[in-house]
Amino acid sequence: MSMKILIDDTVQYIKSKTDFEPEIGMVLGSGLGSYAEQIENPVYIDYGDIPGFPVSTVEGHKGRFVLGEKLGRKIIAMQGRFHFYEGYEQDFLSMPIRVMKKLGVGKLLLTNAAGGVNTSFPVGSLMMITDHINYSGKNPLMGHNLDEFGPRFPDMGDIYTKELRVKLKKAAEEAGIPLQEGVYMMFSGPSYETPAEIRMARALGADAVGMSTVPEAIIARHAGMQVIGVSCISNMAAGILDEPLSHNDVVNVTTRAYNHFINLLVVILNKVF
C-alpha cells in the first residue's frame, strides 16, 4: 500500500467515526499519555482498529487517537507514538502527522521523555526544544515526495516555530513555570546511548537526547504546520551519574513531573496556540 493511500484511508476511517474537526495536534510521549484522559467529550480510535495502521509496542503508550475539546480548543492527541527502533521506517512512523494535517490541524505539540545532557537541567524539569540534531541515520522525507504536503527540499530553519517559542517562554515566565530551553538530539535506539556518545552529543551542542520526535517535527514542517516541542528530562544521560538507565525510571520520573506538564499545557492552549 502506498503512503498516500494509507494516509487517505486513515483520514476516511477517522471521519467515518466522528465529524469532529481538530485544530491542534498533540503527540504524548512516555509517562505523559494520561493527559489524553482529560480531553472532554472524547472519541477514542485505537490504532489497531485502523486498517494498515502501525501499532505502538512500547510500555506506557496506550496506542490510540483521542479527539475532543480542552479549554475550548479542538484537539486530536496521539496517546502513544511509534519509534524507529520498533522497526518502522521514518515516513511510516511519522505518517500520523500527515493524517492530522489532512484532518485540519495547523499547530502541533510534540512531547517526549529525554535524557539530560546539559547538567544544569534538573531531572524532572521541562525543556522547550529550540532545535534538533538528527543522528538517527535516516530522514522521513527520503523516497518519493508527497507534493500535496510540501516541496521536495523543505527549509528547516524554523522547524520549532520561533513565534510560538517566544510566546511560550513569556507565558511560562508569567505563570511561574520553570522552563529550560535547549537542543534535542535523536539517536535511533533502542539501546541507551554510551558515555562516549553523550560526550559527543554535548560537543555537538545537544542539551538532551532521545529516540523520537525528530521525524514527526520534520514531517510537520514539510506540511507547513507550526510546531512546539517539549521534553521532560527524565534522567541524566549515560556517564553523568554512576547508575544504570531503565525505562521504568523514565516513566516514573515523567509521571512525577506530570503536574508541571499539565500546567505548561494550560499555558500552551490558552496563550500560545
Which residue among the candidates 13, 44, 85, 258 is catalytic per the annotation?
85
Q: Which three cell numbers stand for residue 246?
A: 531503565
Catalytic one among 36, 77, 83, 136? 83
Question: Which of 36, 77, 100, 113 does the annotation list as catalytic?
Answer: 113
Catalytic, 220? Answer: no
Give the separation between CA 6 and CA 268, rounded to whole angstroms.
Answer: 31
Catalytic residue among 94, 134, 234, 235: 235
Q: Is 13 tagged catalytic? A: no
Which of 247, 252, 260, 263 is catalytic? The answer is 247
The catalytically annotated residue of 36, 47, 61, 132 is 61
Catalytic residue among 30, 118, 231, 234: 30
Catalytic residue among 134, 212, 231, 234: 212
Active-site annotation holds for 30: yes
Q: Is 260 noted as a catalytic residue in this protein? A: no
Catalytic residue list contains 186: no
The yes-or-no answer on residue 113 being catalytic is: yes
Q: Is 61 among the catalytic positions?
A: yes
Choosing from 23, 69, 86, 89, the catalytic residue is: 86
Residue 222 annotated as catalytic: no
Q: Which of 100, 211, 236, 237 is catalytic?
A: 211
Q: Please say if 211 is a catalytic residue.
A: yes
Rounded distance between C-alpha atoms, residue 130 and residue 127, angstroms: 9
The C-alpha angle 29, 30, 35, rounded to 5 degrees, equals: 65
Active site residues: 30, 61, 83, 85-86, 113, 211-212, 235, 247
